[in-house]
Chain A
Amino acid sequence: MIKKDPKGDTDSLLEDVRNDYRAFPEMGIKRCLQCGLCTSNCPAARHSDYDPREMVKMVRDNNPEIMNNPDIWNCFYCYTCGSNCPANNSPCIVNQILRQKILLKGENNARIYEFLAYGYSYLDFGVGSIPSDFFDGLVADFGQKYVELKINLEDIRHDLGLEDYNLKGEALEEVKSILSSSGFTSRLEEFKRCHES
């Protein structure tokens, strides 16, 4: 069982979004006038079919179809929409909450699968890292120099007078213990299971 952020979903999508811990108390989603300012500044709207204004409308209308809309996965989480919104809404945060809800329903798990490595790295070192599955892609883009950087990183850091950044011993145990009792460890397993099954 995956631990959910807010306790107990209601049957209202709008209320679920408003009550989510990622939301903030004054978030003006109910006051949205559909002016489109968010969309006019949105990098994802500029380069894809994503329309934050429309997403907010569907959430306000409690229209569950929004959960099946692939475009919502295009949001950059740049918060530009919320920083200008005349109604003090934050489509960016609404989007984050929607994605959480979708993933917790066990849907769209392919979208999270490759990112699980970040979580496992965190459990191993107390620090996140770029998910390993993407490394080959990065090397393809960034070239051999990037591989060398990774190989020589410890030396470079040493030259710069920087200490090791990975957690060890008791500190690492504390982090693991927190993530275990917060349900994060099982959340990772659940995401993995959902995708693999």
Chain B
Amino acid sequence: MKKIPHKNILLFKSCLVNVEYPGVESSTRYIFDKMGVEYRVDPDQSCCTGLGYYYDLFDQLSTTALAVRNFYLARRSGHENITTLCSTCYAIMKKTIKLLNSNENARQEVNDILKKAGLSHMQYQAGDLSSEHNIFHVVEVFHSLKEKISKEIKLDLSGIKIASHHACHYCKVYPEDSITPSRNPMVLDELSSSCGAQVVDWYDFKKATCGAGFSQRFANRDLSLSATADKLLALEGEADLLLHMCPNCQMQLDRYQPVLEKELGRKLNLTHLNIAQLMALAMGADPYKIAGIQTHSVPLEGLLEKIKNKSPVE
């Protein structure tokens, strides 16, 4: 089991968290602050390019060179434990380090690019970082703190059924690095049960994609929605809330659920939250000032009301 850090963390900003679910970042920071996790958000950090990489637009070397610049920022500030809010950032950076550490040609080409850009001081030497020991997803930090977090839970979640969607780019790109078995991912389930919720555990298509498919969402909307429908229909009547760990999946399932509902002509009665949002809420965070639920497409007010009615009044 890999060692999960609680300090020297570079909390890596995500493009889709920024503009779709900013509450994911504020919730994470809320939890980190309460748990005494030492982290930094770097204003100079550029985005991982992941969407562009999987739109087939970015080439490996450009993505890698930009990552090396971000690694430099992390090293410069002594925050080498790069921890992501998004599963694609996680996979992109792992891929980058693996490539740089194992492929001398690629490393040389990337260092040449940096040199040509006048950034020789940022160059990467083999072994500067390790894919296993420097790249984390925030859920891993939460998971390592779950006993401590469970003591801070103020809401009674026992009345709601929670299912989880483990992002593909966390579980399947580097399955060996996942902290619960990648064929049966349980990180989110274990976290939600430590918050006192009823866990749905398995459901058909649990491991399947959200359907975003990067370019598919835009270029192949119907195909994309078919996959999204597989997942949402499998959960119909099974869960009140679907937990996320990736803003892209969250966007796909939260924003397209009403679209599908319109096509189906019925409500699916499922809500969506990122694990950080759920845990922050359960710890007492404000739904709008911290968890940022106002940016969601499927309203969460009903669910929160249901939880509140069950929870003891402070």
Contacts and interface: CB of A to CB of B under 8 A. Distances in A.
A and B touch in the complex (CB under 8 A): yes
Interface of A: 3, 5, 7, 20-22, 24-25, 43-44, 46-48, 73-80, 82-84, 96, 99-100, 103, 111-112, 114-116, 118-119, 122, 126-131, 134, 137-138, 141-143, 145-146, 149-150, 153, 156-157, 159-165, 167, 170-171, 174-175, 177-184, 187-188, 191
Contact of A177 (B59, B119, B183): B119
Interface in B1-58: 13, 15, 18-19, 22-23, 25-26, 29, 41, 43-44, 46-47, 49-52, 54-58
B269 to A, nearest CB: 19
Contacts of B22: 153, 156-157, 160, 162
Interface string B110-122: 0001101111000
A118 B60 contact: no
B54 A5 contact: no
B102 to A, nearest CB: 6
Contact of A44 (B49, B59, B223): B223
Contacts of B75: none
B106 A162 contact: no
Contact of B62 (A80, A83, A111, A178): A178
16 contacts: A5-B59, A22-B60, A44-B223, A76-B212, A80-B209, A100-B59, A146-B255, A156-B292, A156-B294, A159-B289, A160-B289, A160-B290, A163-B43, A178-B65, A182-B113, A184-B59
Nearest to B54: A77
Contact of A115 (B41, B47, B57, B168): B57
Nearest to B221: A137
Nearest to A171: B44
Nearest to B25: A162
Contacts of B125: none
A180 B117 contact: yes
Contact of A79 (B23, B51, B169, B289): B169
Nearest to A20: B60
Contacts of B43: 163-164, 167, 171
Q: Is the interface of B mostly helix, strand, loop or mixed?
A: helix
A122 B57 CA distance: 11
B117 A177 contact: yes
Given A127-B47, A146-B297, 13 more contacts: A5-B59, A21-B103, A76-B209, A78-B172, A80-B208, A112-B57, A119-B52, A129-B19, A141-B255, A156-B294, A157-B22, A178-B117, A181-B113
Interface residues of B, number: 80
A118 B66 contact: no
9 closest residue pairs by CB, A with B: A76-B213, A83-B172, A78-B209, A181-B116, A171-B44, A79-B172, A177-B117, A160-B26, A21-B60
Interface of B: 13, 15, 18-19, 22-23, 25-26, 29, 41, 43-44, 46-47, 49-52, 54-62, 64-66, 69, 98-99, 102-103, 105-106, 113-114, 116-119, 168-169, 171-173, 175, 182-183, 207-209, 211-216, 218-221, 223-224, 226-227, 230, 255-256, 258-259, 288-290, 292, 294-295, 297
A131 B52 CA distance: 10
A5 B105 CA distance: 11
B66 A175 contact: yes
Given A100-B56, A103-B56, A174-B117, A78 B62 contact: no
A55 to B, nearest CB: 15
A118 B57 contact: yes
